[in-house]
Structure 1
Amino acid sequence: MKITRRSLIASASASAILSPAALRAQDSEPTVHEVEMLNRDPDTGDIMVFRPAVIKVSPGDTVRFVATDRGHNSEAFDDAVPEGVEAWKGNINEEFEITLDTEGAYGYHCTPHLSAGMVGIILVGDNVDNLDALRDVRVRGRASARWEDYIARAEEMMAETAS
């Protein structure tokens, strides 16, 4: 096949026309977000933490809980997921992934370190009507103060997104 100036221009024009659509398709592909499970946060010095503790993702994205330090897992609070969504429970010392399709707020913890305050929140999409319900989740010890702090952070994130 002979390449002519005309075929080159036609090809370039077709590429230019398709580029915005291709870019939109790339932007809408699900993303994998990593949350580390740590004994100590190297930045803050806090012990028994998920990092980041509060994240916002898009519907269809995946959250990967990385067993950076041993002895941790991720388990959703039964009463801290959107209605109709089944809570998850990862195994201790294992990386765990969850794809979140339903918009809302998801509260979770590390099973053996809940009382040490190892809790976190995932915000999915812009419709997190159940965020207030997370205030009713019963947590004790260090988790109580962190939980309230993380709910406040989640509310700030949603307010920033809305403006």
Structure 2
Amino acid sequence: MKSGYAAAVALLALTATPAMAKEVVVRMKNQGAAGAMVFEPAFVKAMPGDTIRFVPSDPSHNAETIPTMLPPGVAPSKGGMNKEFVLPVSAPGLYGIKCMPHYSMGMVALVQVGNGPSPNLAAARGVKLPPFAAKRMAPMLAQAK
């Protein structure tokens, strides 16, 4: 009887996990609270299993990962111009995001997955970014754990 109860509890825990995953929407904008060419929000906290959806609010944007700012074992991915980009996050750590056409203008975002410490925090802080992108990324990295 106890083993049947334990199995039921384990099955319930496994089936309940997907329902807890959330989707976060990030807008790609020409103008926002932080100025021109921004992601809003630019800093996102998520948990493994969540999905981050980058939605173009204005034309001429894309979202793609910054290959040198990803958790170990996560492959870079890229969205198309003027298309939604869906980033499922499974590994804990920091995911750097850029809009390629506006990268030098500072259009970057940071997704922190998990409660920390992020396994790639030191590496992410050491990544060389274009000057304006680095200026915008610095306060996001300061918030990350």
Question: Which TM class, normalised by the smaller chain length?
Answer: 0.7 to 0.9
1:33 aligns with one of 2, 21, 24: 24
Distance 2:36 2:47 in 1: 28
Distance 2:34 2:95 in 1: 25
Structure label with greater radius of gyration = 1
Matching residue's letter, 2:127: V
Paired residues, number: 133
Checking the alignment, whether the CA contact within 8 Å between 2:69 and 2:124 is kept in structure 1 is yes
* Deviation at residue 26 of structure 1 after TM alignment: 7.3
Q: How does 1:87-102 map to 2 (within 5 A)?
A: 87-102=76-91
What TM-score do the two structures reach when normalised by structure 1?
0.75
What residue ranges of structure 2 are gaps of 5+ in the alignment?
1-11
Aligned equivalent of 1:83 = 72
Q: Specify which structure has the higher proportion of helix.
A: 1
Which stretch shifts more, 61-70 or 136-145? 136-145
RMSD: 2.1
Identity among equivalent positions (%) equals: 39
Distance 2:85 2:66 in 1: 16
Matching residue's letter, 2:52: V
Q: How does 1:1-163 map to 2 (within 5 A)?
A: 25=16, 29-41=20-32, 44=33, 46-127=35-116, 128-154=118-144, 158=145
Distance 1:135 1:29 in 2: 30
What residue ranges of structure 1 are gaps of 5+ in the alignment?
1-20, 159-163
Matching residue's letter, 2:133: A
What TM-score do the two structures reach when normalised by structure 2?
0.83
* Deviation at residue 138 of structure 1 after TM alignment: 1.6
Distance 1:96 1:80 in 2: 17
Distance 1:113 1:65 in 2: 15
